[in-house]
Amino acid sequence: MRRLNLFFLLLFLLAAAPSMSGVVLVAHPDNSEGVLDHDEIRRIYLGKKTHWSDDTPIVPVILKSGDTHEEFLDEYLDRTAHRFVSYWRQMVFTGKGIPPKSFTDEAQLIIFVAATPGSVGYVSESSLVPEVQTLTIR
């Protein structure tokens, strides 16, 4: 019985491993922030924080869909993809904001972030490259 429980525990951990791979926030290499907390991330992606501390405009970018996108929305914004899209539709309709630029894949997002001062995005941990700065989440 003990071996069976251990087997199922191991099976569960292996099945859950891909979802625990992690979402990593990345920024333009010249970004001076380095560390963000969950509230700052939420405010950036909901259009409530628009400038970095050095007064550089923040350019948030997102993925259009996928596991990394869903994980980011759930973990940092506490929203589903549907709620996030609905929020931005309302903001656009009322003239209160412009939604983040979106990309179909992580490679395009990284190229944009590396080339655009003030930009911030997210990718899976396995997609990290040295051309972008990794932000620490506190």
pLDDT tens profile 102-136:
999 999 999 999 999 999 999 999 999 999 999 99
The CATH number covering residue 61 comes to 3.40.190.10
Does any domain span residue 60? yes
Confidence (pLDDT) at 92:
97
Does any domain span residue 15? no
Confidence (pLDDT) at 14:
36
4 vs 25 pLDDT, higher one: 25
pLDDT per residue over 41-86, tens digit each? 999 999 999 999 999 999 999 999 999 999 999 999 999 999 999 9
Distance CA 28, CA 10 (A): 39
Checking if the pLDDT of 10 tops 70, the result is no
Does any domain span residue 16? no
Does any domain span residue 2? no
Checking if the pLDDT of 18 tops 80, the result is no
The pTM score is: 0.83
Domain count, the chain: 1
Checking if the pLDDT of 3 tops 50, the result is no
Find the domain containing 59 and state its range. 21-137
Distance CA 70, CA 23 (A): 10
Checking if the pLDDT of 29 tops 90, the result is yes
Does any domain span residue 126? yes
Does any domain span residue 8? no
Greatest pairwise CA separation for the chain in angstroms: 62
Q: How confident is the model at residue 32 (pLDDT cuts 50, 70, 90)?
A: confident
Distance CA 127, CA 106 (A): 7
Quote the DSSP letter at residue 57. Answer: B
